Amino acid sequence: MLLRKDKTFTLDKYIFEALYNKKSGYYMNVDPFGKSGDYITSPNISILFSEMIAIWIALFWKNLKSPKKFNLVELGAGNGEMILQILKTFEKFPLLKKSCKISILEKSIYLKKIQKKKLEHYNVNWINNLSSLSNLPTIFIANEFFDALPVKQLVKKKDKWYEKNVKFSKLEKPKFVDKLINIKKFEKKIGFKISHKQKFIEYSPSSIKYLKFISKIIKNKGGGILIIDYGYTDEKMKNTLKSISKHKLSNILENFGKSDISYDISFKLFEKIVKKFGLKVNGITSQKNFLQELGILERAEIISKNLQFSEKANIYFRIKKLIDENEMGKLFKVMFVSKKNITFKIGFKN
């Protein structure tokens, strides 16, 4: 559905059309990554990021008693760089490599083409939905996946709740309007009391659907999900919605289909959701703590030992971007969710 004049859409519907409309959606027509794109992700900053994720997967697989067959699923694989480096690292673990069935869940046809070209020499399966996964223990990896899903925003004014909508008219530019809603009906529909102790709500209905389905797979077959994303751990939700174009903030209501729209994950909300679905949060930490505990600095030291100063400096410059608290180190959080009987804590001890 394309947006038409004299129409009002809920915020999440507007974002869905801006990002995922088959003809005009942002993710359907461009490669948003790197210097020429609108933002850069951790796997494209340093291969050591993906190596650390691969090491974490190997250790968790071992903790699961090294199943002979298991699914490794990347949710939204971007330009395919992370899964490529994970596969290269798996070469050092022949048993793990042999046991692993790799799937990518990708909505963007454009990005899927880039991924397929990059991964043409590897046995990777692309899926359109999680129900097509093999009936096996499953490890899910979600790096900057959930922040790209459309969100709803609700605000409390004088004990009444309003939902943010986007209004189009022939005479004016699109604008935000708040529409009164029945919060009890709303909460009954989503299945839990999201408004408890909140004055503002920002959440993605798609996130809840994904987490529900993923939780079911993990509960029935074993495994877990590693989530790495922009986010915060405060109890109170806040307005974090932003639009990015050419690495700079832009107006959400302008550049329709030409800029990225994302938000910061409320990890406390995610924790409540997965607990409601019967899983356990084994840890929430910063990207800095996670990568340092897995040994990113030690790995950098090993690979840079005999390099020239400029090459060594480049490796450490990239790592600084990943772990420095003024860069991505604090801004990004890492969360690990599993069945209740799992006690695996590697990466989450700090």
Span 46-66, pLDDT tens digits: 899 999 999 999 999 999 999
Helix 81-90 to helix 47-63 angle (10° resolution) is 60
Q: Which domains does the chain carry?
A: 8-338 (3.40.50.12710)
- pLDDT confidence tier of residue 30, bands split at 50, 70 and 90: low
**pLDDT > 90? residue 40:** no
- Residue 83's nearest CA partner among 64, 99, 66, 106 is 106
Residue with tokens 């050092």: 92
As a whole number of angstroms, the distance between CA 295 and CA 272 comes to: 30
| Chain position carrying tokens 């804590």 | 345
For residue 250, the 8-state DSSP code is E
The model's confidence at residue 38, banded by pLDDT at 50, 70 and 90, is: very low
Output 99 or 243, whichever has higher pLDDT: 99
* Nearest one of 61, 35, 134, 48 to 318, comparing CA atoms: 48
> Which of 1-15, 28-42, 70-84 holds the top average pLDDT?
70-84
Please state the φ and ψ torsions of residue 222, each to the nearest 5 degrees: 90, 165
Span 321-345, mean pLDDT?
Answer: 93
Question: Which of these ranges, 60-64, 161-165, 320-324, has the smallest mean pLDDT?
Answer: 320-324
What are the Cα distances from residue 178, in Å, to 158, 161, 241, 293, 348?
14, 9, 16, 45, 40
Q: Please indicate whether residue 44 or residue 160 has the higher confidence score (pLDDT).
A: 160
28: CB partners within 8 A, 6+ apart: 20, 21, 22, 108, 109, 110
pTM as predicted: 0.91
Contacts 24+ apart (CB under 8 A), 157-161: 161/186, 161/195
Closest CA relative to residue 74, chosen from 112, 44, 110, 109: 112
Query: What's the pLDDT at 98?
Result: 96
The burial class, CB within 10 Å (0-12 / 13-18 / 19+), for 298 is exposed
What does the DSSP 8-state code read for residue 297?
H
Q: How far is CA 233 from CA 206, 268, 288, in A?
A: 20, 6, 15
Task: Give me the amino acid identity at 295.
Answer: G
- pLDDT, averaged across the chain: 89
Secondary structure tally for the chain: helices H, strands E: 13, 16
* pLDDT of the residue at 309: 85
